[in-house]
Amino acid sequence: MSSATLESILDRHARQGVRLMQILRETQEALGWLPPEALGEIARATGLTRAAVESTANFYSFFHTRPLGHYRVLWSDNITDRMLGNQALMQALCKALWLQPGRVSEDGLVSVDTTSCTGMCDQGPAVLVNYRTVTNMNLDRVQAMAALIRARVPVAEWPEEWFQIADNIRRAGLLLDCPLAPGAALAAGLARGGAGLLDEIRTAGLRGRGGAGFSTAQKWQSCRDARSPAADGARYVVCNADEGEPGTFKDRVLLTRCPDLVFEGMTLAGLAVGARRGFLYLRGEYRYLLDALEAVLARRRAAGLLGASIAGSNFAFDIEIHLGAGAYVCGEESALIESLEGKPGKPRIRPPFPVTSGYLNCPTTVNNVETLASACLIAAHGGAWFARSGTKVSTGSKILSVSGDCAHPGIYEYPFGVSVQQVLEDCGAQRTLAVQVSGPSGVLLAPDEFERRIAFEDVPSAGAFMVFDETRDMFEVARNFAHFFAHESCGFCTPCRVGTAINARFMDKIAAGHGSRDDLEQIFRMHRLMQATSHCGLGQTAANPIFDTLRKFRPSYDRRIESLHFEPAFDLDAALSRARRMTGRDDPAAHLTNEHQP
Amino acid sequence: MSKKLKVATVSLAGCFGCHMSFLDIDERILELIERVEFDRSPLTDIKTCGPCDIGLVEGGVCNSENVHVLREFRDHCRTLVAVGACAITGGLPALRNPLDVADILEEVYHSRPGLAKGAMIPNDPELPLPLNQVHPIHEVVKIDYFLPGCPPPADAFWKLLTDLLAGRTPSLRHGLIQYD
């Protein structure tokens, strides 16, 4: 890369260390990877230490500090992609390219690997090619893709239809009907004023849509009341669009269909808490949305809905989009703020909570995409109107991302309180064995629980709804999730870093036919330990899918168990194979029995 | 005075450092010997393990003999404890794991400069064969308790043994859990 290109990237971000993530991403987009010289130049220009720049560059899956080929193909590896056959397709692609997964081809042309769920579960198997999303992969597309790569055709010239991403809205409700004209809610909000708006949010009973269900009014009030350490009293609004929970893709559709609703919700949050700046933290997997969203922001600025004097008032607010780089843990709000500041996404110690000490230690409210869109409706129609739908303690609607074994995967918006059974019927699921609600960190429901309702008081959900029918093996589902968490643990605390790795190893041991009753006991112990001692929600919930499947689908484990007591972790006799070959021995002492008879 | 408990100890792929640290309980060994009797152990030079209450195993599993000894301990000890970093993780000997054991044998016994003419990889059936990888002992037999440290401090040995003698589940407090 010419130093002029790097200079222009650095200038565009005013050489600010807090912009490091965006500087690294744009540098990599220009060069294909992050060479040491570029990192050194970025460190000098931003005034960060070389170690700080490298720790960020090395933390995120989508940044690479070694060349990984002109074409980087990453297969989304959620369980729903597996159920659609991604493994065989990936093998076929590797075969067509004469390649091992995870290795760069000898000519430095291409590498093929897996990545965590890319949020295309309703149209998988999906891949990212140089971080552009391709959906509905099949053998034809694999063969055509291999030919295009070998012919070195730039990704921008690949068939347009490969990059089509469907919204698949099957059932629209309050939000997805999008009845608001841009600016309408903002005008109503400005008329009410910040305090009046907060009152409406409180009346509406709005709760966070990210899964935890915290009161939005309380969060905004705390942020509004907190003292800012900055001279100008700065406060921030952050929209969490780091939709990393496997099986969740509702925010992608909201940002595609109703971006004005989301941006206007952020602006209203700014009005309510007294902020002048907002960030949309968009997951790296949704890079393809960036240009369209920037265009919406530009249009809103031109219409006077963002900027120095919004709708002629003295309220000023603007929004920047910050793109993530493939780290699930950044969905945790304090990790997300670290990432916004250009650092590795490791959760902070809380308290202090972001509402008092968030971005640059200033009061910051972090809200889910769907929460902010709902706030926009409340500003327009009033809190009482909103509270009329849903249940008493879970007001409004919930958007579910339905995927897996059903006839019509896609987006379903219901008033809170809908039963799992109702959703299964609507999406055309047959002979359902289990439903994973709210992703791997959520809860797995068995058929005797399908009458339960999606609501904070019963089954809370961040939006994922993965359906498994009777042909599925729930052990393999849990094993996929165990590897997901082992990959996504940020490594900051020992219970999570080690626990997720050990759990993945236990699951592999059982899958390889070396499992015993004792291993299952160890898994239960590990679950308790991680739940009690992990630093953040990732570790606390990482063993949930194993725990749930062990409790509700025990036979899928028992049929793999070799021994009621203990089984070695590996094949003992095979472990002498190399030494036998080198010594030419085959006497009885050169063998070990795998069965140990006391 | 109740019957003395039987204790066996062994070092597999270890350096005997854990045993040395055990001996650092110093004069408390006199108190200990009032309450336990040592079976197979480097301290007694008894070669095979009889029925025991407690087995302390230092070192990981690097060859077939280690597997046999470890199984002998598991068969005869009611409670088996993994002692020290090598037993718990493979430790220092496991640093060979990234290498192919076949390449190691070839280089050490056959192709290295300075070997006697016609040197061969030893193949006497008396010799235990090395495993492809060095393993922690809990991958080969069921282990009841783990005593971390390289080596575990003498006080940790003392706490573990006095807990077991008193019939308590061993629990090491903060200062006794150390990893180097």
Q: How many CB atoms lie within 10 A of CB A2?
A: 8
* d(C-alpha B179, C-alpha B57), whole Å: 17
A322 φ/ψ angles, rounded to the nearest 5 degrees: -115, 125
Superfamily of domain A171-387: NADH-ubiquinone oxidoreductase 51kDa subunit (3.40.50.11540)
**What is the torsion angle, in degrees rounded to the nearest 10, for the CA atoms of residue B59, residue B60, residue B62 and residue B63?**
80
Q: Smallest CA–CA separation between A512 and chain B, in Å?
A: 14
Taking only Cα atoms into account, the Rg of chain B, rounded to an integer number of angstroms, comes to 18
The CA distance from A514 to the nearest CA of chain B, in Å, is: 10
Strand B130-135 to B61-63 pairing: antiparallel
The DSSP line for A240-263 is EE---STT--HHHHHHHH-HHHHH
Question: Nearest Cβ partner of A583 from B67, B75, B121?
Answer: B121
CA distance to partner chain B, nearest, from residue A593 (Å): 10
Asked if residue B65 belongs to a domain, the reply is: yes
ipTM metric: 0.90
> What is the CATH class of A475-563?
mainly alpha
Q: How many of the other CB atoms lie within 10 Å of CB of A29?
A: 12
Task: Tell me which residue range forms the domain holding B33.
Answer: 5-96+130-176
B-chain residues within 8 Å CB-CB of A575?
A: 131-133, 135
CA distance B41 to chain A (A): 21
Q: Does A298 touch chain B (CB under 8 A)?
A: no
Residue B140 sits in a domain whose CATH number is 3.40.50.700
Name the residue of chain B whose CA is nearest to A584's CA: B123
| pTM, rounded to two decimals | 0.90
Q: Residue A125: is the preceding peptide bond cis (ω within 30°)?
A: yes
Residue ranges of domains in chain A: 3-59, 71-166, 171-387, 397-470, 475-563
Cβ distance of A576 and B64 shorter than 8 Å: yes
A316, two tokens: 């000023």
Element (H, E) at A402: strand A397-404
Q: Of the candidates B75, B102, B125, which has its C-beta nearest A585's C-beta? A: B125
Nearest CB partner across the interface for A590, out of B100, B122, B129: B129
Query: Which member of B106, B123, B130 has the closest CB to residue A584?
Result: B123
Q: Determine whether domain A3-59 maps to CATH 1.10.10.
A: yes
3-class secondary-structure state, position A375: helix
Residue A578, chain B, CB below 8 Å: the answer is yes
Least Cα separation, residue A482 to chain B (angstroms):
20
Cβ within 8 Å, pair A578-B101: yes
Q: Which chain B residues are Cβ-neighbours of A566 within 8 angstroms?
A: 141-142
Chain A CB contacts of B100 under 8 Å are 578
C-alpha A239/C-alpha A256 separation (Å) is: 15
CA of B165 vs chain A CAs: smallest distance (Å): 25
Q: Over 80: is that where the pLDDT of B179 sits?
A: no
What letter represents residue A387's amino acid? A
Burial of B155 (0-12, 13-18, 19+ CB in 10 A): middle
Alpha helices in A321-473 (DSSP H): 333-340, 369-381, 383-387, 420-426
C-alpha distance from B179 to closest chain A C-alpha (Å): 13
Of A518, A575, A585, the CB nearest to B131: A575
pLDDT in single tens digits along all 598 residues of chain A: 568 899 999 999 999 999 999 999 999 999 999 999 999 999 999 999 999 999 999 999 999 999 999 999 999 999 999 999 999 999 999 999 999 999 999 999 999 999 999 999 999 999 999 999 999 999 999 999 999 999 999 999 999 999 999 999 999 999 998 779 999 999 999 999 999 999 999 999 999 999 889 999 999 999 999 999 999 999 999 999 999 999 999 999 999 999 999 999 999 999 999 999 999 999 999 999 999 999 999 999 999 999 999 988 999 999 999 999 999 999 999 999 999 999 999 999 999 999 999 999 999 999 999 999 999 999 999 999 999 999 999 999 999 999 999 999 999 999 999 999 999 999 999 999 999 999 999 999 999 999 999 999 999 999 999 999 999 999 999 999 999 999 999 999 999 999 999 999 999 999 998 899 889 999 999 999 999 999 999 999 999 999 999 999 999 999 998 887 888 989 999 999 999 999 999 999 999 987 655 5
Interface test with A, best of B109, B126, B129 (most A CBs within 10 A): B129
Minimal Cβ distance to B102: which of A568, A570, A582:
A582
Q: Is B113 helix (H, G, I), strand (E, B) or coil?
A: coil
Q: Which residue has the tokens 């193909």?
A: A73
Question: What is the per-residue pLDDT for A211?
Answer: 86
Element (H, E) at A139: helix A139-150
Select the residue from B71, B109, B131, B134 to test the A interface by mutation, using most A Cβ atoms within 10 A: B131
Does any CB of chain B come closer than 8 Å to the CB of residue A598? yes
Amino acid at A80: T
CB of A402 within 8 A of CB of A467? yes
Total domains in the fold of chain B: 1
Asked if A580 is an interface residue toward chain B (Cβ–Cβ < 8 A), one would say yes
Residue of B nearest to A517 (CA): B142
In a domain, B120, yes or no: no
A100 Cβ contact partners less than 8 Å away, ≥ 6 residues apart = A94
A5 CB neighbour count, 10 Å cutoff: 14
In whole angstroms, what is the distance from residue B4 CA to residue B33 CA? 9
Backbone angles phi, psi at A112, to 5 degrees: -130, 130
For the domain bounded by A71-166, which CATH number is listed? 3.40.30.10
What architecture is the A397-470 domain classified under in CATH? Roll (3.10)
